Amino acid sequence: MHNLAARTVFFVKDAEQALSFYTATLGFALDWTHQEQGRAFVFQVSLSGFQLILNQTEDWTQGRAGHGRVFIGLEDDQAEGFLRHIKDNGIKTTICHWGEPTLVIHDLDGNELFFWLPERDRANLEAKLAAV
């Protein structure tokens, strides 16, 4: 069986603002967009192979904005480049304990991107978490 093509969908209150946040602030590339009334409504962004679809809420999905969470586990050879990307782009992160120290990015609606770093990098996060 071939690998499934699976992507997470986050619902957002304002797709135009989310598009700007994910591309300009977080450094994601825009893969495609569907517009309605000249504004982004559904779009996909990607970063280092990770693909994410963002969908403007409608009346029937209003309560979904900000309730998304995706977990991304980084391998040993991916952590250094990812952490450099975070630093170089001034991306605000938090740290929480989710079984292990976990690096978290919140989008404008409160959707969560959880990043689990390799064990050698989690020790640094544990020290930062203990200092809070």
CATH classification at residue 83: 3.10.180.10
Whether 3 maps to a domain, the answer reads no
Please state the rounded mean pLDDT for residues 58-62: 90
- On whether the pTM is more than 0.85, the answer is yes
Locate the DSSP E strands across 1-99.
8-12, 29-36, 39-47, 50-56, 69-73, 94-97
Which residues are registered as beta bridge partners of 57? none
Tell me how many helices (H) and strands (E) the chain has: 3, 8
- Say if residue 132's pLDDT is above 60: no
Domain assignment of residue 54, given as a range = 8-58+66-131
pLDDT at 67: 95
pLDDT at 131: 58
- DSSP letter string, 64-75: GTT--EEEEEPP
Of the chain, the percentage scoring pLDDT greater than 70 comes to 94
